[in-house]
With several copies, the nearest count.
Chain A
Amino acid sequence: MTTLTEDKHAYSGSTNNRVVYDTKDLNLWYGQTHALKDINLSIYEKEVTAIIGPSGCGKSTFIKTLNRMVELVPTVSTSGTITYNDKSILDKTFKVEDLRTQVGMVFQKPNPFPKSIYDNITYGPKIHGIRSKKVLDEIVERSLRGASIWDEVKDRLKENAYGLSGGQQQRLCIARCLAIEPEVILMDEPTSALDPKSTLRIEELVQELKKEYSIIIVTHNMQQAARISDKTAFFLNGEVVEYDKTDTIFTTPSDNRTEDYISGRFG
């Protein structure tokens, strides 16, 4: 574990990346439930930021707030601000579709559309108006390569995505997300439904992707956070208890709740 984190330390700590997301006093309620409390976080470009914490602490809520998917729940209300690339995105005037085009999302359970692999990938480009067959073909290949699943599916692009294994489906979902070339990719426990082997492939992929994309990943698995992330935020009961470089969090946390959690004393 330590070896892994130190490995990364080399390039995660040194780069002085631009801030892509910045939240100020972010609060969120589901009806009466106060799910996020005064969140202040800055998330940096081309890094992997891990969100950890026990079940129900608000991890999913937080990353769904970043692309405003949380608004699909009608009772949600928020206060505070989130700026994405210096634009305040919580304003009702801000077009969520634009935001979501620039911020891709990968979900816990692989959720390909019940369509062919090809159609899954081209779904995004098409809704954004790209019609040219040639361009689409190129996007498909590039995205699938980007999600390192091209070799496995290149001969069966017309087949239904549900024929793929769980791990392949998840990589397909990542590819689908790459197809619209987002800047940020949000991942909500992308490996929790997968077997260890598939998990490993996704983890490698995340390492690969962060050269191009900023990645925010929610995970239950602390080892995973330690392995792949540059920064880690520890959430507890809707609050950010600690946010720091991953190796700091895992070796010398400053809050003893963090320590308790990491050492498995609760959660």
Chain B
Amino acid sequence: MKYVDQTLVHKRMNSRVLKNNILKQVFLIATLFGLAVLAILIFRVVTQGIAWIDWNFLTGKLSTFPEKAGIMGAILGTSYLMLIVIPVTLIIGVGTAIYMELYAKKGKLQSFIATNISNLAGVPSIVYGLLGLTIFVRVMDFGNVVLAGGLTLSLLVLPIVIVAAQEAIRAVPGHLSEASYGMGATKWQTVKKIILPAALPGIITGAILAVSRAIGETAPLTVLGIPAFLLPFPEGIFDTFTALPMQIYYWTLDASLVDEYAYLAAATIIVLLVLLFILNAIAVIIRNKFQQRY
């Protein structure tokens, strides 16, 4: 006795195959949807903002007059922030990763730290803002200066760097460290001379991704109380500052006061996006160029 009726199977086959083919197109469209939004977003921003970008805009001081306004202060502010974020996250992030991957004994402490890191990665950035406000601005009394902002952003992106560094270290083949130990090298010598250099491209890629996250972060800075209007350029980490995303935020808010502020916001977004694309391109280049053959 046959349960599977081949003629019936055959009949249903057409609709099944058709369904497959139709849904394939649906899935493709879904994939392209995100890209279409991306294209619209970029198109909108560029058409609104591109006309406002000129030398004066890039190098000038802030102004209440749209034609005079420049974003050098914000660019410098963002740069100073990164000057803190990069070393701080690299030192803490790589240190933590080395500890977790190479020194920590498998056990409660190690898994506690690991859980903790993955939780920190999910804490909303605005909460980091409150942390920064309480700890750096108030308790440590730095005020709303670059240092406070930089440290706040550092903590925020730290999990990204840690995870990237952990992965990079894990990817270093064991036979390299074995060779080093086999020569009588100590653990730290092996870490310093073999493991870290081999993991470096991965670490740098992670750091760049972290930096590009930090560059665009606005929420924590709004909580820190960054001045809305500030002309002088920051000259050090103890100066008050404004940053590119904050400038975008304030101009967006004030578009009702002066219509052109919306275009300035768009122009600033272009600058920010270009910065991000450059950073990501560097990350990709590093990843491709320094990929070691083992």
Contacts and interface: CB of A to CB of B under 8 A. Distances in A.
A127 B184 contact: yes
A220 interface: no
Given A95-B13, A97-B16, A97-B17, A135 B184 contact: no
A100 interface: yes
Interface stretch (B1-9, B135-143, B274-282): B1-9
A136 B6 CA distance: 16
B189 interface: yes
User: Taking chain B's interface residues, is the majority helix, strand, or loop, or is none over half, making it mixed?
Assistant: helix
Contact of A100 (B12, B184, B292): B184
Contacts, number: 103
Given A128-B184, A135-B3, A114 B16 contact: no
A109 interface: yes
A162 interface: yes
Interface string B237-269: 000000000000000000000000000000000
A69, A97, A104, A111: most-surrounded residue (chain B CB, <10 A)? A97
A5 interface: no
Interface in A237-262: none
Interface stretch (B30-38, B122-130, B173-181, B202-210): B173-181
Contact of A124 (B178, B184, B292, B293): B184
Interface stretch (A76-84, A145-153, A176-184): A176-184
A124 B12 CA distance: 13
* Majority DSSP secondary structure for residues of A touching B: helix
Interface residues of A, number: 37
Contacts of B9: 98, 101, 128-129
A107 B176 CA distance: 10
Interface in A159-196: 162, 173, 176-177, 180-181
A10 interface: no
A262 B17 CA distance: 45
Contacts of A198: none
A106 to B, nearest CB: 8
Interface string A76-117: 000000000000000000010111111011010101111100
A237 B64 CA distance: 79
A114 B196 CA distance: 12
Contacts of A129: 8-9, 12
Interface string B171-207: 0010110111111111001000110011000000000
A72 to B, nearest CB: 7
B185 A111 contact: no
A177 B182 contact: yes
B289 interface: no
20 contacts: A67-B182, A97-B185, A97-B186, A98-B9, A98-B10, A100-B181, A100-B182, A101-B184, A102-B184, A107-B182, A113-B179, A114-B197, A114-B294, A124-B183, A127-B184, A128-B8, A129-B8, A135-B3, A176-B179, A180-B184
